[in-house]
Amino acid sequence: MTVLGIMLGVDLVRIGIEDQFWTYPHKDEFIRSSAEPVEKVVQIAKALGRDTATPDEARKILGMKSTSVK
Question: Tens digit of pLDDT for each residue in 4-31?
Answer: 999 999 988 887 666 667 777 777 888 8
pTM flag (> 0.85): no
What is the pLDDT at residue 70? 58
Residue 37, pLDDT score: 84
Number of H helices and E strands in the chain, helices first, is: 3, 0
**Could you report the per-residue pLDDT of 17-67, keeping only the tens digit for each?**
666 677 777 778 888 887 888 888 899 999 999 999 988 898 898 898 877
Residue 6 CA to residue 13 CA, distance in Å, equals 8
- What is the SS3 assignment for 3? helix
Contacts of 42 (CB under 8 A, 6+ apart): 52
Give the separation between CA 42 and CA 51, rounded to whole angstroms: 9
